[in-house]
Amino acid sequence: MWGFTVDDALISVRYARHVASGVGWRFNAGGPATDGVTPLPWPVMLAPLAWGDALSVLARAKLLGLVAWGGAGCALGWAMGGLPRAPAWARGAALATLALSVPVAAYAVSGMETAVATSLATAATLMSRRPRLAAVVAGCAAAFRPEMALWAFALAVGIALVARAGPRRVLTAGLLAVAPFGACALVRTAAWGHPAPLALLAKPSDLAHGVVYAGAACVVTLVPLLVLAPLALRRAPMALVVVLAAVAHVVAVVAVGGDWMPYARLMVPVVPSLAWAAALASEHAHPVATAARSLVVLGLGGVLVARGGTEGRQVGRDRAALVEAALPQLAGFHRVASLDVGWVGAATEADIVDLAGVTDPEIAALPGGHTSKRIDARLLLERDTDALLLYAPAGLPDGSVGAWREGSYGRVVEARLAADDVTARHFTAAAFIPLGARGAGYVLLRALPRD
């Protein structure tokens, strides 16, 4: 899955490049500081790597994730080897299932912070003999993924209880686990006047979507299915703690409404810890039941891969080609509006109007989801936008850029702007920038001179 990435990875890269160059915590170099990166420590971690062009920085971020998860994976495998009471074949099946989990592989090398959060979460789970250290490490994972705060608290308290710690030490463990999350909230409050990430406002939660997302995530990541062993978990206290913490995490994921990114990103950080829990539970489970679960899950993993589960590894190549093609097309523009701002930020240093509101608090506050904000052409004109990008997943009729208004735009913001007569009066088609080999691409509209 080395070729996999997502557009948001390049948003963090743009912030990191600006931090490294001395511009500050800004998405647009000449704009205000904005809270456009949910994992607050991530741009700081990337800043030492943020020299050169954006795609080079993304490649370094991918390598950083690979190293982080590779180290945590080795630690997990070593710990599995230290469980002599668990059948060797059961431990092997748990690790094989984890190795077959495409979402874990994809986000290990996506260039996102998910790999670091996954590595920290895995390390915290393996530190059960040192409850306070485990609490601190789990809390650091929640600093990178805020929705993991409940998981960190549940894991830290559970580990302390299993260790038979007194009430004071249990409370201390819980506080240590939420301290990094609290620190990030305080920084956000001081810098931007709100404790929650801007993405929470830009992408309002939807419980119905969250339930569907969480249910699908538990299946496609595979490993959660291995711990469906309630009787064995009752006899394995540490495995039960890990599973209950994962359940708390699922509740948090449902509460935030899931996510729009592929491969169950929000579930990935807790998946390796569940492989550990499955190995612990196998010490007390009936071998036939463990074997049956393992065979079913491994078979499901094979089916998912065979049915195209790894197609996402082409995303990075297509996105790099898109950036290369857009570089000359976007040259000379001063303010570009787009719903997908990550790759656009890699293709131009111009100011970007973020139609999703992920990096723009004013647009984030508008009604609607991040692809359906109440935006019309007047907002673009008020902001002196001189270029507009619209994503056409099926291309344009007859391949003619002049027929851009007849194109099919699947996202509400773009469909509304394409149908707006004000857009047609003030913008004209300049180019069609292809994405991938299936006809998709972006229509580039340039602003007409104003009277």
What pLDDT, on the 0 to 100 scale, is given for residue 42? 97
Q: Give the global pTM.
A: 0.94
Q: Are residues 304 and 331 in the same domain?
A: no
Q: Are residues 163 and 28 in the same domain?
A: yes
Q: Are residues 204 and 334 in the same domain?
A: no
What pLDDT, on the 0 to 100 scale, is given for residue 248? 97
Q: Are residues 295 and 386 in the same domain?
A: no
Q: Are residues 293 and 412 in the same domain?
A: no
Give a yes or no: residue 49 inside a domain. yes
Q: Are residues 361 and 324 in the same domain?
A: yes
Q: Are residues 30 and 132 in the same domain?
A: yes
Q: Are residues 56 and 159 in the same domain?
A: yes
The token duo for 25 is 């915590």
Residue % of the chain over a pLDDT of 90: 89
Q: Count how many domains the chain has.
A: 2
Q: Are residues 144 and 208 in the same domain?
A: yes
In the predicted model, what is the mean pLDDT of the chain?
Answer: 94
Give the containing element (helix H, strand E) for 391: strand 387-392
Q: Are residues 285 and 354 in the same domain?
A: no
What pLDDT, on the 0 to 100 scale, is given for residue 397? 85
Give a yes or no: residue 1 inside a domain. no
Give a yes or no: residue 150 inside a domain. yes
Range of the domain at 122: 7-309
Express each pLDDT in 249-277 by its tens digit: 999 999 999 988 999 999 999 999 999 99
| CA distances in angstroms from 97 to 90, 217, 275, listed in the order given | 11, 15, 8
Among the three residues 292, 309, 326, which one is the final residue of a domain in this structure?
A: 309
Q: Are residues 224 and 343 in the same domain?
A: no
What pLDDT, on the 0 to 100 scale, is given for residue 451? 65
Among the three residues 309, 332, 360, which one is the final residue of a domain in this structure?
A: 309
Between CA 355 and CA 344 the distance in angstroms is: 12
Q: Are residues 320 and 420 in the same domain?
A: yes
Between CA 275 and CA 343 the distance in angstroms is: 35
Give a yes or no: residue 2 inside a domain. no
Name the 3-class secondary structure at 401.
helix
- DSSP summary character for residue 305: I
